Amino acid sequence: MLEIKKWHNTTLAEKTIDSLLKNGFRASYYENSNTALTYIDTIISEYNVIGIGGSMTIIKDLKLLEREVMKNKIILNHNLPDITPEEKHEIRKKQQTSDLFITSSNAITEDGKLVNIDGVGNRVNAMLFGPKKTVIVAGINKIVKNVDDGINRIKRIASPMNARRLGVNTPCATLGYCTDCNSPQRICRVISIIEKRPIPSNIEIILIGENLGF
């Protein structure tokens, strides 16, 4: 059973990687997070100021901030618990010009497009423009057929779970699905679809054969 799952993950990832490469991105696939992290460490070692997007894949699943390579780096992390709204805003702005910005994507299509929904916009903005390099790490669970499936995935899975995690007062945080609400605390406010690598952005996508994040 495990070998069949591994085969399926690999074939799906290889198809997606091929599409990402055709769309101008750097892209690679790793069967597990340990081998992926070894490679990610080599990227981090080349940069000093590291911006971290709001991502459970990066912070919780991969525990990237706890790795040895992150010591002595300047970390721009707006997810810290004991900072003021003003400090959070300043960190988000500084992320846009970090040496390296690391985040995940809500969905990646089989034809090589990145689909994301943000509440503030700092994450998708840094994906598009600003940092010297952007690394997007995503589990195999983020791969979808097309853009419509990507948006549906976000509204059915990622956004309700993130709303619940953040403790915001939205219908999806209670019901578990999107109602296209008008809540003041709505976290779905910006839809970003990156069809090709923006010029002259340096974007690299790393896919991992595990279920990671929301």
Cα dist from 161 to 47, 144, 172, 201, 214, whole Å: 32, 18, 8, 30, 7
93-134 tens-digit pLDDT: 999 999 999 999 999 999 999 999 999 999 999 999 999 999
Q: Are 206 and 32 in contact (CB under 8 A)?
A: no
- Global pTM value: 0.96
Q: Are 101 and 127 in contact (CB under 8 A)?
A: yes
Domain spans in the chain, listed from the N-terminal domain onward:
2-208
| pLDDT score of 172 | 98
- Is the pLDDT reported for residue 1 higher than 80? no
Where does the chain show beta strands of DSSP type E? Answer: 26-30, 49-52, 74-77, 100-103, 107-109, 114-118, 133-139, 143-144, 190-194, 203-208
For the domain 2-208, what is the CATH code? 3.40.50.10420
Residues present in the chain in total: 214
- CB atoms under 10 Å from CB of 130, counted, come to 17
For 116, list phi and psi in degrees, rounded to 5.
-145, 150
